[in-house]
Amino acid sequence: MTTRAFRNLEVHPDDPVEHWGVEGILAAIDRGGMHLWRRIADAVAADPQGEVAADLEQALTGAESRSSAAVLRLVLDAARETSEQRVARRVREAVGSTTLSQAEFAGRLGTSASRLSTYATGRVVPSAVMLDRIERLAQDLAND
């Protein structure tokens, strides 16, 4: 399958993403497809603070395709997420996957609502055992 050249740009979609610059990434967001977005995502995953990530962040502000930009924003944010943020997100997702309030979930877990809140906000990182208990409780509640 041949890839159309980016209009009015010196770079071609077959060039390394690192050569596209902001305008090439913007063209890929607005007029490209999954194959180009995947290449951007792979480059960002390889170096979340690198040049492609910075170019993507800038391109996202000018993108016309809001849905494509939203997906690539999620890719960028996920790549830049710290371990602590990832754990906090997992706690929030576990609690949110149930019909219980955070206080009710904490009670079933055997901890206080304020302690669970510190896990969900990332102020405190739960132990691996506690994270496992949180996720298992959410799974058990989903299976009931």
Q: How do residues 2-12 score in pLDDT, each as one tens digit? A: 455 688 899 99
Q: Which domains does the chain have, with CATH numbers?
A: 17-80 (no CATH), 83-143 (1.10.260)
CA–CA distance, 26 with 137 (Å, rounded to integer): 43
Please tell me the predicted confidence (pLDDT) of residue 1: 46
Predicted confidence (pLDDT) per residue in 85-134, tens digit = 999 999 999 999 999 999 999 999 999 999 999 999 999 999 999 999 99
